[in-house]
Structure 1
């Protein structure tokens, strides 16, 4: 092999080595950096999409904030943090006027602390035979009768009671309320319907009626007594004590001919 050919081979090998070294030292790092940058860009784009969706959701929720605030205020008004009987009387008066009837008497009892209902318990086991009785005597005849008799149906059980742990006797109380109105049957039904759908949560527990007074034999002269419960939910740690006369004395508004009491309807 002549000398020029050896030099050519050495030059070619050197060129290949330079190219390979240049690729690994110059091009490869750039390609790796470009690939890493592309992956980072994809990750950032995904994060931006998530942030954009969150911002759009927050904007939509902010547009409905006024509706949520109105719903919150309505719920707070339905179960206020104080008895507020004067406000309740005004509501009753307004509902009675809309129903075409008249409130003649209003009475509110003292608040009573909430008591969580007991959970349903399993039915009691069948009673065992009384002591001193003979269990073997007459077994054959009783066994035949028992075999012929149909199996006794299982007693139904009430579902387990579910309560909110945030509602406790310390912050929740009930107030028994009695309202007397004067009007016809249809007017009384209308009043009760408005009462159950009013701004203050009112649980109707009893409705009774009495005959018209002597000299007033019309249907509009009939008296209806509506009993129920209103509720108080306090934000603090302590609810009004049962029978606390300083803050929860019974409120009464009656309409009488003598004019000694205040008529709840303002008439």
Structure 2
């Protein structure tokens, strides 16, 4: 091998080593960095897509915010954080005026701690054999008949977040006079008013003013009606009682002030 050929081989080998070394030392790190940048870009794009989706959801919720505030205000008026019985009396008087009944009195009790309703433990009626003794001479039965199934009683709905420490009840009794139709309209009005009023009992005291035995409630007699039920306060009983006492001490007409006794009466 001549000297020139040997130098050429050595130069080619050195060039190959330089190329390989340049690839691993210069090109490969750049390729790795580019791949990492692309992965990071994909991650950023995915995060941005998530943020854009969340922003769109928040924008939609923001559009509903006025309606949600109105709903929250309505719920606050339905079950306020204080007794606020004077506002309820005004509402009762307004419903009475619109339906034509006359409010003769409103009896208000002190607030009591909320007690969750308990399911009634109804004993299951026996559906098998009878407990009576069999007759001495059996009588033939035309065909066996299946006993009707006993309907199940739905359990009361409760919420563990509603307890005696944050919820209380105020027993109310409203006495009005008017016809049957007027009493129905009044009952519907107070049950569907701003303040939640749960009516659990209605009694009537018929006062006849006609001698016609076929007369109905709208034919000439006046009927006294007593609606018993509860309004609710979003606070413990002690705080609700304090607000009742404050309302009673603030003065006002009897139909617009809260009771200051254990079972006071507000006349309409």
| Bin of the TM-score, shorter chain as denominator length | 0.7 to 0.9
Q: Select 1:202's aligned residue among 197, 202, 211.
A: 197
Asked if the contact 2:78/2:195 (under 8 Å) is kept, the reply is yes
| Aligned residues between the structures | 230
Which deviates further from its counterpart, 104-113 or 151-160?
151-160
Matches within 5 A, 1:136-175: 163-175=158-170
**1:174 alignment partner, SS class:** strand
Matches within 5 A, 1:1-267: 1-118=1-118, 163-212=158-207, 214=209, 218-219=219-220, 221-234=222-235, 238-240=238-240, 248-249=260-261, 250-254=263-267, 264=268
Residues of 2 paired with 1:69 and 1:42: CA distance?
Answer: 40
Which deviates further from its counterpart, 155-164 or 18-27?
155-164
What's the offset of the Cα at 1:118? 3.5
TM-score between the two structures when normalised by the length of structure 1: 0.72
**1:178 alignment partner, SS class:** strand
What's the offset of the Cα at 1:29? 0.8
Residues of 2 paired with 1:46 and 1:233: CA distance?
Answer: 45
Instruction: Please tell me the root mean square deviation across aligned C-alpha atoms, in Å.
Output: 3.4
Residues of 2 paired with 1:8 and 1:237: CA distance?
Answer: 104
Asked if the contact 1:123/1:155 (under 8 Å) is kept, the reply is no
What's the offset of the Cα at 1:87? 0.9
Residues of 2 paired with 1:219 and 1:23: CA distance?
Answer: 110
Q: Deviations over 1:10-47 (max 9, x none)?
A: 22222121111111111111111111111111111111
Q: Deviations over 1:200-222 (max 9, x none)?
A: 11111111222235479844733
Residues of 2 paired with 1:50 and 1:97: CA distance?
Answer: 57
